[in-house]
Structure 1
Amino acid sequence: MGKLTNSYIKAGLKIREATSNKSDYGHAFILAGRRGMMGAAVIAAKAAARTGVGLLTVGVPAEERFILQTAVPEAMLFMREEDHYPLDRFSGIGIGPGIGTDEVSEEMLVSVLVQSRIPLVLDADALTIISQNKKLFSCIPEQSIITPHSCEFDRLFGMHKDREERINTARDKAREYHIVIVLKGPETAIITAEEVYYNTTGNAGLAKGGSGDALTGIITSFIAQGYAPDVAAKTGVYLHGLAADITLNEQSMESMLITDVLNNFGKAFEEIRS
């Protein structure tokens, strides 16, 4: 077991070369949002764009496309009604925030699980769908990252009396399914088959809707840029929390919004590098 520190994260942070271009930093694909939940797609997309990915495509319902294109002009658009998901174009794929749990959403998730040849980032409604159909665990690509909070974790793996029990179960499940588990909460834990790391950044200002959507976007961005899944998870969690800590210089925990946190990602990168 270990703790994430600034020096640990800094050692793994990639350097952007002066002669590089957007193709050097991957292409992320995020499937998120539905009617009434497009904020989840916007937040995840902005988080990915703010954390260095070269190209970003966001899959949303066609009727909601104008929200995404207006809010995140840096992102390209994929309309989810299309029959074919061109997954081979992407180096990082995240799915779940705000997609819903209806039959159409389940079919979309199953299609992505079956087709993907790279690790996925699975969050929110994607985890709810899997919790309702445990057979889908066998379809998750190896080294994928799941990011449950405690209630989602218990829906996936059964009730637990405390965090220690969840950590023990997470270690077993990480080995069984060959995945990375980000157990969100105070001192978010990043669990692999070999290790458990606890985060040292973040505050209760993140205990609001949208925080998990941002984390999905961040980790998907780092995967797309070529970070190993466990490193992407550790770096994403640490940066997310550090930006929230920096935001306390401008807001209180009560008034902090996830959009305030997104705007401080640049300062968080600077602090890690310093």
Structure 2
Amino acid sequence: MKIFSKEQIYEGDRFTIKKQNISSSELMERAGISLFNWLDARLQGAPVPILIFCGIGNNGGDGLVLARHLISHGYNVKTFIVDFSDKRSKDFLINYERLKETTKDWPVSIHSVDDFPEISSQDIIIDAIFGVGLNRPISDWVIALFKHFKASKALTVSVDIPSGLYTDKTPKHEDDVVTSNLILSFQTPKLVFFLPETDKYIDQWEILNIDIDATYLETTETEAEVLGKYDVLPMYKQRDKFSHKGSYGHALIIGGSYGKIGAVQLSSRSALLSGVGLITAFVPKCGYIPLQTALPEAMVITDADKKLITDIVFDIIPDAVGIGIGLGTDEKTVKAFESFLKNNTAPLVIDADGLNILSKNKALLKYLKEDTILTPHPKELKRLIGDWEDDFDKLSKTKAFVKKHKVLVIIKGANSISVYQDKLYINSTGNPGLATGGTGDVLTGIITGLRAQGYTALESACFGTYLHGKSADLAIEFKGYQSLIASDVISYLGQAYLDLFKQADTPLSEKEQKPEEVKK
């Protein structure tokens, strides 16, 4: 699903109005009706008080359309105009007059704190004050109104975006934004719905289709996309009946140090369950027996040193390499890592201590093979690219880093974002149960396994983060958030693959019930 910028949203409106030969007020009517239909389907005429707070621009106009239809259908509605300026949009004024013709209970204007209505916790607040076009500081008394909403503990539903939330920068103060329980966003979500710093304002969101022109939606290139099941499904590689283990690649996982061999076991096992044909682990000697015992499917090569990796030498030709998990940052290991980078020709995934070594030795970045995948968590990312002012600055600096070094960076988090070339690919799966040690090692293994099977860097990152998160989503149904561990994520990878083919848009034939036999 594409995420459109503020400017693209406006252009989509203009394109739709021209292409469909409608007026801007007709498009606003369409938006307001979509809001009404959503609420009416859930409230079913319930007499709960609905307080609609409208700004004086087009977001407020959407609220006025909603108010008119709710009132016409017998709902208990009170409408308020948040009068923060003398300017009013044309379509706001049109719908203001239409509302006055519908009811004798005209909208009440709010000019200051003294005009605030009482709000009960049993009420429903509709926030239609500011939309995506907000580009000015908010008056103190309007911020006080936001606080008034929050203090009431009433269910708060925002139209398109929470009022006060910008589409391209982070608010300076928490009170400057309406805290929404639900956002009804038109056509597509906004980028701010997926960023850590703005998560506090957003509980849930849903998309309402207002029939923006399909040609515009399909042909417009966007900076960001949210990837769900039907976005990653075309990436799935079908298995041939006469294939063998050599058909699906040989992955090499390099890592481990004394006390951290488990990280390599997790990565190696997850690579296997991602579908790779062969897996080899390169570890210090202390890892030999643990790995051969815990993971008999893996082949093991050891360093001469008992506790550390000091010289990365192997006689296999891997199709992809994952390095850094449990590696440590000993001086001897750093030298071995540098030597490896200089000589490596295989597609590469770098995580954990591999990233830490790069951060302390940035001259090594020039040795990275093009399309190398880096998988930092936020602190590791900061060591790589430096401090950032807010999440938007973080994304900008990551894009610059990616472009400079011709790599792909996965910013791990609640909505992991793969940054590649000039685009952001936002993962839609995963849950707080993943906040436990070892899950990053699992992700590295999955991505390395996919890369070895012939998936591109972008496919490996996007498909890998999706499978990783989906496996965790399936696991918590039985484990819960608190009891989920990294091994559980691996155990449910098979179910994550099978889930790709459940509830498909078209029925699968009897033969196609097995994922390996489903064609793209």
TM over 0.5: yes
3-state secondary structure, aligned to 1:23? helix
Alpha-carbon distance in 1 for matches of 2:443, 2:290: 21
Does 1 or 2 have the higher relative contact order (CA < 8 Å, sep 6+)?
A: 1
- Pairing of 1:115-154 with structure 2 (within 5 A): 115-154=343-382
Deviation (angstroms), 1:8: 1.2
For 2:234, the equivalent position in structure 1 comes to 11
TM-superposition CA deviations, 1:123-170 (whole Å, max 9, x none): 000000111111011111111000001100001111123332221111
**Which of these residues, 407, 410, 422, is aligned with residue 194 of structure 1?**
422
Whether 2:485 is the aligned partner of 1:251: answer no
CA contact (8 A) 1:121 1:144 kept: yes
1:51-200 alignment runs, 5 A limit: 51-81=274-304, 85-86=313-314, 89-200=317-428
Which one of 253, 263, 267 corresponds to residue 40 of structure 1? Answer: 263
Residue 479 of structure 2 aligns to a residue whose secondary structure is coil
Q: Secondary structure at the match of 1:3?
A: strand
Assess if the C-alpha contact under 8 Å between 2:311 and 2:336 holds in 1.
no
Aligned residue-pair number: 274
Cα distance in 2, alignment partners of residues 14 and 115 from structure 1: 30
1:172 to 1:88, Cα distance in 2 relative to 1, 3 A: farther
Quote the residue 1:234 is aligned against: 462
Residue 249 of structure 1: SS of its match in structure 2? helix
Structure 1 residues 87, 79: CA separation in 2 closer, same or farther (over 3 Å shift)? same
Whether the 8 Å contact between 1:87 and 1:116 is mirrored in structure 2 is no
Distance in 2 separating the partners of 1:38 and 1:54: 22
With structure 1 as the length reference, what TM-score do the two structures score?
0.97
Aligned equivalents of 1:14 and 1:228: distance in 2?
11
Bigger Rg, structure 1 or 2: 2
1:218-244 CA distance string (max 9 Å, x none): 000011000001110111100000000
Contact 1:30–1:95, Cα closer than 8 Å, also in 2:
yes
Shift of 1:104: 1.8
**Per-residue deviation, 1:119:** 2.5
8 Å CA contact 1:87–1:115 kept in 2: the answer is no
1:256 offset after TM fit, Å? 0.6
Report the RMSD for the aligned CA atoms in angstroms. Answer: 1.3
Q: Give the equivalent residue in structure 1 for 2:501.
A: 273
Deviation at 1:83, TM superposition (A): 5.2
- Alpha-carbon deviation of 1:86? 3.4
Structure 1 stretches of 5 or more lacking a match? Answer: none
Runs of 4+ aligned residues of structure 1 deviating over 3 Å after TM superposition are none
Specify the SS of the correspondent of 2:478: coil
Query: Which residue identity does 1:100 align to in structure 2?
Result: G
User: What's the counterpart of residue 29 of structure 1?
Assistant: 252
Amino acid at match of 2:275: G
Q: Is the 8 A contact 1:121 1:216 kept in 2?
A: yes
Deviation sequence 1:246-268 (CA, Å, 0-9, x none): 01110111111111111100100
The answer to whether the 8 Å contact 1:182/1:233 transfers is yes
Q: Which residue does 2:149 correspond to in 1?
A: none
Whole-angstrom distance in 2 between the partners of 1:124 and 1:137: 15
2: CA distance, partners of 1:170 / 1:65: 37
SS at structure 1 position matched to 2:282: strand
Query: Using the alignment, how far apart are the partners of 1:197 and 1:84 within structure 2?
Result: 33
Structure 2 unaligned residues grouped into runs of 5+: 1-223, 305-309, 503-520
